[in-house]
Structure 1
């Protein structure tokens, strides 16, 4: 796989449909409802393939299997950790209607003895975002973020910051700039607040679309870091609502946790586009290691 190109180095942004993200989420239809893919190692973090990338892979298969192309709501249960390499996706159409279609999808990989192991199971409804009315009534407001040049990316780690164990390959695929006020964990002084905010884009300059929003909601460091916890925070369940097609330009992502109990926490994410529109929301339940 070609190395990711940083924001500063690229001259011509990649286009939707012809980018690293599109190539790495592309599925091959083996037969109706069955798709093959080679999960890319470029989207790994610590010891596993990123859950948002996996959701986008399943989302692309469902977009092909269902008569509607845009994800409206996608709910995923992560059963076992996925690894780079071959996988098969099996989809089933549950219902088709004039405005919404609903389907399921499961991603399988192979055990050493060749048997299939289910990694993720998804239930999703798809529609046409362009057919939605323009009426918006909301009390939600975009997150207050410093300008991009005052935020910090993977190459801006402060001196003395602890390294992240395992793979961090996904950071080379993203143009992620974190709000300094949510970076205490990187300096050994977490705030104790369950908050994470960042500007989000893809490293090759590809603009966001509904499918990449499934990645954006799960691409930031976990809020558990800023709560003083360390290590992998595996997702148990993740539900994403895509609200509208994003405008070109960088996204703003805000994630909050209000309750950590019994070794589990929730993360509520909002994604805002360059036109100050709330384009996606999500909630996930994740497991943390205490002590």
Structure 2
């Protein structure tokens, strides 16, 4: 069990009754059509965070498919989403005894009133509680110092008002070994490690894991690059329901070429279980 495995909180929100739950809730208009007002509280530089969006589509698919939990979900981000009304259209592709597969797309309207597809996903769902307990792995939890020895946004100078609001809704405490970029001394290694949770103390569930893999500062910062790093494609594998307590997230990049990089993420729970993995392709601005 890792040291400092509980986040400080005087009152903790419950799963199903937190800001994250309210802001990712979709309203079924009719079978296969869901409405949502994308919250401005999950934006980075004015654009809605990709992990938050993936959780929105994940919940719409959970309302469509007969199984409750995302096992694997792959998203292509076609255009940048903005806060405001959106429509999610879902379709059941196949239903089996242990797995069901569906697809979903999120749409918004542009300034001219034209419908624009923002994201398209394909996902397979099952029941994580029904999986066997047998684990055979060579993976080990990331070496992150205790939570109180790591650093969050509150430990630095007051941020400029750049329209990024998501940090107020997260508990992020970054490993000092991957924080050189914040001091003007990036390590040159594509690594980012952090404790992670929701600021209101809500424990993690499969849908918040979809947020966790895309919520840390990009590894491009530790490579000495700056600016927005938009996601092109993101695939997440959910392996287990997380135990209560903060998560540990480790993200690595091994290859940046042609203005694109990959980010491989692992998410570990307080019981030292690997509960989610992901890979994304992202665009970076060079020079």
Fold shared by both chains (TM-score > 0.5): yes
Question: Contact 2:46/2:164 (CA < 8 Å) preserved in 1?
Answer: no
- Post-superposition CA distance 1:120-145 (Å, at most 9, x none): 00000000000001110000000010
Alignment partner for residue 224 of structure 1, among 212, 217, 220? Answer: 220
Give the conservation status (yes or no) of the 8 Å contact 2:175–2:194.
yes
Aligned equivalents of 1:286, 1:279: Cα separation in 2: 23
Q: CA deviation at 1:166?
A: 2.4
Q: Is the 8 A contact 1:105 1:123 kept in 2?
A: yes
Alpha-carbon RMSD: 1.2
The number of residues matched between the two structures is: 281
- Which aligned pairs between 1:139-288 and structure 2 lie closer than 5 A? 139-157=138-156, 163=159, 166-288=162-284
**3-state SS of the aligned residue for 1:117?**
strand
How far, CA to CA, are the matches of 2:247 and 2:190 in structure 1?
A: 20
State the TM-score, normalized to the length of structure 2.
0.96
TM superposition shift of 1:164? 6.4
Consecutive unaligned residues of structure 1, counting only runs of 5 or more, are 1-6
Q: Write out per-residue CA displacement over residues 157-187 of structure 1, whole angstroms, 9 at most, x where no aligned residue.
A: 1x5x9x5672220000001100011110001
The residue aligned with 2:3 is: none
Q: Secondary structure at the match of 1:238?
A: strand
Q: Tell me the distance in 1 between the aligned counterparts of 2:16 and 2:135.
A: 29
Q: Is the 8 A contact 2:197 2:204 kept in 1?
A: yes
User: Who is 2:54 aligned against?
Assistant: 55
Give the 3-state SS of the residue equivalent to 1:64 in structure 2: helix
- Secondary structure of 2:171's match? coil
SS at match of 2:94: strand
Alignment of 1:22-171 (within 5 A): 22-157=21-156, 163=159, 166-171=162-167
CA distance in 2, matches of 1:114, 1:89: 17
Distance 2:162 2:121 in 1: 27
How far, CA to CA, are the matches of 2:249 and 2:11 in structure 1? 25
Q: Distance in 1 between matches of 2:96 and 2:169?
A: 36
Question: Secondary structure of 1:176's partner?
Answer: strand
Indicate if the aligned counterparts of 1:46 and 1:164 stay in contact, CA closer than 8 A. Answer: no
